[in-house]
Structure 1
Amino acid sequence: MNSVNKTATSAPSLPEGIPDASVSMIGRQAILNERREVYGYELFDRSTAIDAHTAASDAAMLFNALSYAGTEALVGRKLVFINCTHESLAGGHLELIHPDKVVLEISTLGENVTPNEIAACIPIFESLRQRGFRLAFDQNLLRRAYVNWLPMASYIKLDMLTFPIDNAQALVKFARTHTIAQIIAEKVETQAQFEHMHALGVKLFQGFWFARPDVVQAKMVRPSQATIMQLLNLVRSQSSTAEIEELLKKDPTLSFNLLRFINSSGFGLSCEITSFRHAVMILGLKKLFRWAALLMTTSRAGGSAPAVGQTAVVRGRLMELLATEMLPPEESDNAFVVGVFSLLDVILGIPMEKALESIALPQSVAEALLHRTGPYAPFLELVLACETGDEVTFARNSDALHLSNHQVNWAHLQALAWADNLSSDNG
């Protein structure tokens, strides 16, 4: 028996001057080749119950793994296998990583799935493959219903606990005949299982016989939510690289997160980035916004990812969309700030007046946030009515702004979709 990485790994110490960190629990199990050398690592989110994985938790786990200061200790330069829900495959977080570094593990859809549901997945898989991602599937891929998925597979995982060992040869032969996928024998628990699959020509293995999963306590350093939202606003208003660099210089936590993320193995750069300006130029505004939004919405409090950050982003985008048709561009940007900052007191756990003391905001923005007065107040009241279903307030403010129900509802749907995908059209 060959033991690989059986002990838990603790996070390295943080640089001097960096404030407190939250901890993300990341499970890791090695995938080995026939010589029992590490080929890659499958990562698991140990901070979320197995049956509670969502697109948001998938994004958080991958983001935390790549942003972790000890990424090299976590996976080195090996491949990373990440379990994905089908909903998360369209997430903007996947655009932040280098596809050569990550294999997306995708489950089949269960027993009662319809042919239309199976067919609907194919364009998503094709798009991911065109971007360079490799896809891994479980052995149910070999069932007749999934014949059209077979060309998409780069890996097929055969679960040794789900079939008699005598059936292995037929499964391996079928997979080799109908796909170009590499086969991984997983949940290998005995030497006999390993030797049998090795004799069939299988070259990749995973299971307790080699190594039990270990748990890495990844310390995630979090900037203040206020600083992240300042960065979001700078990016949304397409500020200059110099302005963004100035904010990064003022907040060592924010700049620390950005540099360690862009230099992680998942980002795929061949040289180390040490300049804030270079980091901003490499990422570009679109990816920088996604990164900042992920940093905000995956911050953890009390062990669970708060919905408040996501709600703030939705409010900001909805206010911006509603204001765009009625106000000049600069005022539309201010409307975005009002929406995003409208939960600042909840996020920071202090009164709004106190929260705004450290942030230089236009008077009209502050009036809307503190007193619900000024030109942005009707937009904010309308957005809050959308959330709560307050029909009276909705009608009063939509009439005052000369907006139809259709216009508001359509903008709300757009804002929700935009925030869910953590994407930005920069316009």
Structure 2
Amino acid sequence: MFKGLLSLFRPRQVEQPVAAPSPPASPAVDMEQPGYLRHRPILDREQRVVAHELTVARPRPAHAAQWQTPSRRLFADALLWHFVQARLEALLAQRLVFLPVGLGVLEHPALPGLPRHNVVLHLAWHEDELGGDGEALLAGMSRLRAMGFSLACAQELLAGDERLAALSDYVVVDAGRLAPPDLLTVQRRLAGWLEHKPLVAMNVDFLEMYEACRLLRFTFFHGAFVAGREQGESNVVVPPYKVAAMELLNAIRRQAAPDELAEKAWADPTLVLRLLRVVNSPAFRLRSPIRDLKQAIAYLGHDELYRWATLLLFSSQQPEDRHPMEHAWREAALVRGRFMELLAGSQVPDSERRDLFIVGVLSMIDRIFSMSMPRALQHFSLPSEVTEALLHCSGRHAPYLELAIACERGDEASIETLATVCGHDLVAVNRCQIEALEWILGFAGLAD
């Protein structure tokens, strides 16, 4: 059953565990094909990405009214095998990873191989055949805790049981399923009962819902709100810092001399400081730090300098200029750009890979500037193919951008179609997504 799943990532150079026999899958559930391993960011109260939820495409039967037990078991089985194969050491070194599972995970042969550090098993449903009651849940959670796992538990499973609450490191509330009055009632009950337990608001789909959950003192936030788009304002004025960054980018694009580039950067000393932080980051592995801007420009060259100067557009000089979602949008934009660049690989020339990175990064510039994409792009001097991809979703770069967005949405049908257009399969898509996610860890804070 898991032959297709185990091919999702390159196998380790060790013998793989053999899956225990599982009940037959529903005929409507095809688990023999590799699935997409989706990651969704989880933000803290400072709007910084501190964790990720990893899921696979849920094998929901086509005509089922609810997610049935066999399908949930297959989902958890697939997720654990995918996770074990994914080699996420770099990600786990810095961030939490939430894995939604049921108690059936206890019998899964991949469980002993799961890392303990920063892995949170999110108990999201009862396993009916294991006994859908508090005592079965208590016994299962106790076993998982004894194995060294951190646990999150869906609030409805706690059912007011102090023993279950004591075993939970996090309490998860599916905010997307609750009407605002019900969400308020649940939050008040949990806050009074579990005062020191972090509350995780899951499936927060809109920025307005996020703001409401934040006011309700949730600790972590997960959902589609991260990619939310606000209505642009007609009278938006771009802050001077970002104007200086755009002028620097345009000078780099026309291959201006190093002296002119340095002059453009010094128009705002914060630009200089942040550029030096980038070039001295561990990613460049310098033997000795670079202190001089002209030396940094010479070291990077025009192409790399342009690449990293775009990062500065997603940061603000003054707190009053900073959008609450700035950190999350910056990371999402960089992951998009890096994913597109990695996926293209050796199939395209270096210059085209660099343009793909720029397309991915600038695809969120309308959010940062709070204006329409056509108006935002008026500030830039860009190659025509970059502009076509951003404005009209056309040209050679467009399928890569569409694929990156489909990955964020978890639209597996579109992912498979677009991956084929780009000349890849889901194995490559998963690999590039994970590599992009781990790559960003070295750069996410450099523009602050």
TM-score of the pair, normalised by structure 2: 0.39
Name whichever structure is richer in strand by fraction. Answer: 1
TM-score of the pair, normalised by structure 1: 0.40
Ranked by relative contact order (alpha carbons within 8 Å, sequence separation 6 or more), the top structure is 1
